[in-house]
Each structure stands twice: as C-alpha cells, then as structure tokens.
C-alpha cells in the first residue's frame, strides 16, 4: 500500500484535472486511470459561479481524494496565502506546494519552496512539495517536516521522461524512509514504469493524459505502465552489465553426441 502521511492508498498513480477536452472526458480518464488522488488548482475551483460549481460536482462524483495545489504561485507569500485558502475551501490539510521561479521552464524556486514548506508545516499543513531532483533541496524539505517529496523527471509538460536518472536514483537511495513521487515531465507509460523501476513510490501526471488523442485510453495505458514498473521493482531487476553473459552457458554443460 502507498502511504501519504497517515493515509493509505492502493493506486500509485496521481492524476491532474486540467487541460482535458471536456469535463466528461476528464471524469472518464480519471476513472480509467484508477487514480485515487486528483490534484486541483485552487485558482480554477475558486473562480466561483456555475462553472466552478459544476467542476467541483464532477470531482465529488469520482469519490477521490483531492490534493489542492498552489499552481502558478511565484512567491512564498502568494503560495502560503493560496494554501490557506485551499485548506478553507477543501477542508484538508494537504497541499501540493509549488513556488515557480521561471516562466519558461516552470522550474521550482527551491529557496522559496523550502521557506514556504517550513511556514505551512508549522501551521499544520501536510505538504507535498514539487521540486527539482536536487538532493540538497530534498533533504532541506525533509528537515522542514515534509514526509513526501515530489521531484520532477523533466519540466512540466515537456514529455521528456526521466532526464537525470542518476540524480533521481540518488534521492531514492539517500531518502529510503520518505515517500517519493515523480512529478512532471512524464510523456509515456514507459516513463512511468522507469520511475518505479528506480524505486519511486508513485507518479503524478496530467498533460500526457489530458493532451493525448484519446485521454481515456492513455489513462488506462499509464495505469498499466505504473503496475508493470512497480511489479518489476518488487520482483528484483537484474543489474546492467558491461559484457555479455550467455543465457545458455556451455562451460560445465554435458554435450550429447550421436553414436554411429
């Protein structure tokens, strides 16, 4: 089972609720993914009026756990304020914390992220920080009280997959007791499988499903990729080798010769 703070889940795929062609397709894709946690941007939900009410009604029908996020926030003050509004609106201490440093890459402001996480945790929040794959940043987030860390595989929406495998593997090795989620940059089910093969506990994605020609089918494909990657990790992957190793060794193997 996957554990986030004091709650357990059977699905290891977290999914976003933005960018879908229609609300109905969003709902169908989330169901096909098997995800039990859905991220929701406060800015979208708090727009109010009939649109906001209809969107929230669709989310409630899915019977999922909502993980509100501070998407689009570019300062510590803005992120903290948005998180507090989200707690009031959704009635949850959970917050996916984003503090963005650059408009083009959407790279996290790691200094502001650690500061905001520290403020929110002291205020009773359970923080899911979106960060880079930097070990030092991850360790500071853990020191601040984060029990979950969410490094990117690649920039948001880039679909490049894991671009720094060694750094992600180092995070896993050095933070064995922390729930680690690969968040952002995954573009194919094989990318998700690779994250699990590195030992990660879950993946979070949105664009790769929402922008697919068939989001519902793609959601199902990612579900299968997640399951395959996790099963492979638990089964024990063989180590890569520099040289060939015959699958049918000949040394010490008897040979049978026909006798005329």
Q: Which of 50, 84, 96, 160 is catalytic?
A: 96
Alpha carbon dihedral 206, 133, 98, 59, in 10-degree steps, equals: 30
d(CA 181, CA 165): 14
User: Can 160 be counted among the known catalytic residues?
Assistant: no
Cβ–Cβ under 8 Å, residues 123 and 114: no
Quick check: 37 and 67 in contact, CB under 8 A?
yes
Phi, psi of 99, deg, nearest 5: -130, 110
Q: How many CB atoms lie within 10 A of CB 8?
A: 10
SS3 97: strand
97 - beta bridge partners?
129
CA-to-CA distance for 260 and 257, rounded, in angstroms? 9
Note the pTM of the prediction, 2 decimals.
0.89
User: pLDDT tens string for the chain (260 positions)?
Assistant: 899 999 999 999 999 999 999 999 999 999 999 999 999 987 645 545 555 667 778 888 888 999 999 998 999 999 999 999 999 988 999 999 999 998 888 899 999 999 999 999 999 999 999 999 999 999 999 999 999 999 999 999 999 999 999 999 999 999 999 999 999 999 999 999 999 999 999 999 999 999 999 999 999 999 999 999 999 999 998 888 888 877 766 666 665 556 55
Ramachandran angles phi, psi of 251, nearest 5°:
-70, 125
């Amino acid at each position: 089972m996957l554990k986030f703070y004091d709650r357990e889940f059977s699905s290891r795929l977290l999914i976003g609720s933005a960018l879908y062609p229609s609300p109905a397709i969003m709902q169908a894709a989330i169901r096909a993914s098997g995800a039990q946690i859905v991220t929701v941007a406060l800015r979208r939900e708090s727009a109010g009026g009939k649109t906001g009410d209809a969107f929230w009604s669709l989310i409630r029908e899915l019977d999922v756990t909502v993980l509100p996020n501070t998407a689009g926030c570019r300062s510590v003050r803005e992120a903290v304020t948005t998180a507090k509004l989200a707690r009031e609106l959704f009635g949850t201490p959970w917050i996916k914390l984003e503090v963005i440093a650059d408009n083009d890459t959407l790279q996290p402001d790691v200094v502001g992220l650690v500061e905001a996480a520290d403020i929110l945790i002291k205020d009773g929040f359970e923080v899911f920080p979106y960060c880079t794959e930097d070990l030092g940043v991850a360790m500071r987030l853990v020191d601040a009280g984060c029990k979950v860390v969410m490094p990117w595989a690649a920039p948001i929406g880039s679909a490049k997959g894991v671009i720094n495998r060694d750094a992600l593997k180092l995070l896993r090795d050095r933070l064995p007791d922390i729930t680690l989620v690969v968040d952002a940059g995954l573009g194919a089910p094989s990318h998700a499988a690779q994250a699990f093969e590195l030992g990660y506990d879950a993946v979070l994605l949105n664009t790769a499903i929402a922008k697919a020609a068939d989001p519902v089918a793609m959601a199902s494909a990612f579900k299968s990729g997640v399951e395959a990657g996790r099963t492979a990790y638990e089964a024990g992957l063989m180590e890569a080798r520099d040289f060939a190793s015959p699958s049918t060794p000949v040394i010490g193997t008897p040979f049978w010769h026909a006798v005329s």
